[in-house]
Structure 1
């Protein structure tokens, strides 16, 4: 029986694609939330706008992470 205390090795081979999927999903949620603003009351509207600001920051960070992963892949680090 294998020892369960050992963690799996870091597999970064699909990070670029995985991050791309996360970005796409987040952008879709941001867009859907923008549409829902049309039907939101003022309190909901403010909450949606704040959440979308956080989503936008997340997207920016993910794009930077994706660039780093792409550079690592080109260097053969992945």
Structure 2
């Protein structure tokens, strides 16, 4: 049996738009987590703070990727 599987072409035409949407969604999640933090303490609060820090790092990485995409054009 022969498989004729071909990879999809690498279409990056909408990468910047997708990254921008991901940044907006991540910021929204951070804001919701900040609101939740007002109602929790201790370990739960530390968990949320750590997750928001990881979200900030992800946002920085996505912004860097947007710059790379724009300079590649």
TM-score by length of 2: 0.91
Partner residue, 2:37: 37
Please state whether the residue corresponding to 1:12 is helix, strand or coil: coil
Partner residue, 2:60: 60
Please state whether the residue corresponding to 2:38 is helix, strand or coil: helix
Runs (4+) off by over 3 Å: none
Aligned length: 71
Please state whether the residue corresponding to 1:32 is helix, strand or coil: helix
Task: Give distance in 1, aligned partners of 2:35 and 2:69.
Answer: 32
Any gaps of 5 or more consecutive residues in structure 2? Answer: none
RMSD: 1.2
